[in-house]
């Protein structure tokens, strides 16, 4: 049944099952008791697969391989979600079943083609969902909806029972609100499958990226006039530096040239080949601009395809030395947001813009993870994507989890706080034994004494607040200015802080730099947990200004700066 309400929550679903397909009894599985949805180009036995084209409507008698594995792991399937027709698009407006809205503002696109899967995860309607990713469809919707999107190494998850888009570049992708759950899904669904001609057995990297790592940043970046996205990416780079990264500028031109081949060369013929039999007979029942894209694939010769493949291999050779200078590549997941009205008015160009930093990844055989980074001033999410060579899926997840939890963002659009991070299954211990220490003042990221942490190999775990039982005071005569934190018996405030992981071997040297009246104690966090953190001796607070109403030291310092500037003018 075609939905009439464009931009409504109902448009996220094509088939919401009256009775979920139950998962097997699997009490030891981390997926036991969880719920999921799948994009409607993935087969579920007894439920039509439409690929968002009602005339296509195939009737599968068996589950897709990945669906069967997740059911066997104990998860229950709630239904099938909307998509850009035949997984051809990155925006979520190309479906006769309705336009899927952004989970934060229904005027904006959700991202596609896995639009419905991203939306139902962001809204908390399911615990996780499957999408597919050929040109970015497992990442762009994640970035635009404040959730995690894993684009596995090609062939790691079977595509048997999945309607192909461009089969040699297709991946089944995973959406979740946390990295740890997405990894649980990945490991449950992974494995070679002889029914998939592109499946392969991959030995995944088992060691994490080192505590001090190098991350590539493109030498040219376009945000298509979106200043908020540009500022958000600068902030993201600073956060990755705080986690131990050193930025390295890399040439983006060959990556962009590879990306262009996906739609602007004979490689587009693979999209036509994927649905050739249906399209030749029923092309008039395919919506625009999908019809035009598939139609363009008819015009290329076999020689054209080989020429395009050779050009792609040459670009891969050109890019390969980049990995000798970096451990991971960081890009914006999507460079901007568009409204649904804007997308309808210019559907090809704006769709291409959304894929500016995703289209090359599968073509060059990389793994990737999109993680939330911030909520912009206009309330829209901004995400980043971490990319590394094939087989680095778990190492990317470990770094992605550290980054995600350092943001202090809520889970999707649910408003719920992130749970505590978990060890990434299948990955070794990321670093030497460390102690979590909370800082509230001059040691915060970007503040004058933060270098005392980073030069000792400390990494940022997360940004959060204390429980609402603390007072923050500005200690007089300290250089640089420092606060004193004290637990209040008579009520208090939630004070912004950061939790850093400090190598145990470096803790003593770090504490030796902390002058009285400050000392190490225990601090209660917003979620009720306790960590070591800096507190202040009570006698030092008698003449100290109470600045708790600012909510944190950074905000207090900013208010002082603003006051000084006002006086000077």
The residues that are catalytic are 39, 113, 137
Sign of CA dihedral 224, 228, 230, 236: negative
**Between helices 393-407 and 227-242, what is the axis angle to 10°?**
110
* 190 token code pair: 């992974």
Token pair recorded at residue 429: 């211990």
Asked whether 102 and 334 are in contact (CB, 8 A), the reply is no
The DSSP code for 418 is P
Smallest CA-to-CA distance from 44 within 12, 71, 67, 76 is with 67
Question: Does residue 475 contact residue 538 with C-beta atoms inside 8 Å?
Answer: no
Rounded Cα gap, residues 97 and 349, in angstroms: 23
Q: Cis peptide before 480, with omega less than 30 degrees from 0?
A: yes
Report DSSP letters for 75-92, one per residue.
Answer: -EEEEEE--SGGG--SSS
For residue 353 the two structure tokens come to 């813009």
Per-residue CA distances from 391 to 216, 368, 388, 413 (Å): 18, 10, 8, 31
- Tokens read off for 370: 């999109």
> How do strand 245-250 and strand 213-218 relate by DSSP bridges?
parallel
CA distances from 338 to 74, 90, 355, 377, 437 (A): 38, 11, 13, 16, 40
Contact 450, 482 (CB under 8 A): no
Beta bridge partners of 374: 382
């Amino acid at each position: 049944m075609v939905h009439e309400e464009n931009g409504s929550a109902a448009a996220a679903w094509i088939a919401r099952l009256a009775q979920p397909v139950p998962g097997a009894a699997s009490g030891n599985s981390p997926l036991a008791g969880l719920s999921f949805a799948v994009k409607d180009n993935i087969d579920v036995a007894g439920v039509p697969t439409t690929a968002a084209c009602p005339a296509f409507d195939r009737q599968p008698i068996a589950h897709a391989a990945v669906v069967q594995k997740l059911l066997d792991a104990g998860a229950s399937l709630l239904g099938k979600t909307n998509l850009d027709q035949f997984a051809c698009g990155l925006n979520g407006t190309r479906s006769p079943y309705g336009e899927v809205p952004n989970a934060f503002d229904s005027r904006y696109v959700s991202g596609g083609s896995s639009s419905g899967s991203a939306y139902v995860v962001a809204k908390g309607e399911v615990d996780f969902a499957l999408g597919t990713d050929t040109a970015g469809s497992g990442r762009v919707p994640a970035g635009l909806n404040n959730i995690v999107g894993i684009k596995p190494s090609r062939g790691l998850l079977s595509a048997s029972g999945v309607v192909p888009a461009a089969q040699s570049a297709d991946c089944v992708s995973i959406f979740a609100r946390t990295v740890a759950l997405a990894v649980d899904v990945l490991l449950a669904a992974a494995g070679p499958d002889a029914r998939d001609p592109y499946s392969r057995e991959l030995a995944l990297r088992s060691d994490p990226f080192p505590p001090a790592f190098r991350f590539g940043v493109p030498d040219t970046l376009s945000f298509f006039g979106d200043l908020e996205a540009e500022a958000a990416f600068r902030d993201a780079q600073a956060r990755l530096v705080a986690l131990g990264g050193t930025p390295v500028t890399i040439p983006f031109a060959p990556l962009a040239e590879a990306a262009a081949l996906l739609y602007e060369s004979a490689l587009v013929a693979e999209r036509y080949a994927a649905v050739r039999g249906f399209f030749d007979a029923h092309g008039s029942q395919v919506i625009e601009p999908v019809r035009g894209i598939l139609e363009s694939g008819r015009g290329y010769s076999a020689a054209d395809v080989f020429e395009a493949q050779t050009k792609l291999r040459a670009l891969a050779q050109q890019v390969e030395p980049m990995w000798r200078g970096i451990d991971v590549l960081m890009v914006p997941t999507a460079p901007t947001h568009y409204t649904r009205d804007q997308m309808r008015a210019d559907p090809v160009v704006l769709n291409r813009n959304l894929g500016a930093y995703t289209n090359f990844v599968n073509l060059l055989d990389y793994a990737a993870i999109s993680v939330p980074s911030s909520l912009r001033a206009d309330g829209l999410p901004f995400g980043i994507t971490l990319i590394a060579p094939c087989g680095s899926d778990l190492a990317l997840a470990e770094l992605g989890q550290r980054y995600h939890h350092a943001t202090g963002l809520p889970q999707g659009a649910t408003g719920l706080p992130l749970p505590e991070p978990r060890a990434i299954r299948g990955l070794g211990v990321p670093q030497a034994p460390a102690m979590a220490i909370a800082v509230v003042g001059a040691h915060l990221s970007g503040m004058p004494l933060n270098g005392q942490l980073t030069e000792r190999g400390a990494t940022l775990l997360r940004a959060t607040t204390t429980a609402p039982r603390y007072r923050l005071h500005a200690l007089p005569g300290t250089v640089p200015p420092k606060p004193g934190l004290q637990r209040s018996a008579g009520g208090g405030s939630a004070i912004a802080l950061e939790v850093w992981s400090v190598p145990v071997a470096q803790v003593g040297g770090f504490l030796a730099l902390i002058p009285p009246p400050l000392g190490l104690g225990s601090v209660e966090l917003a979620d009720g947990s306790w960590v070591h953190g800096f507190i202040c001796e009570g006698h030092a607070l008698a003449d100290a200004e109470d600045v708790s109403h600012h909510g944190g030291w950074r905000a207090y310092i900013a208010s002082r700066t603003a006051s000084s500037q006002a006086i000077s003018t």
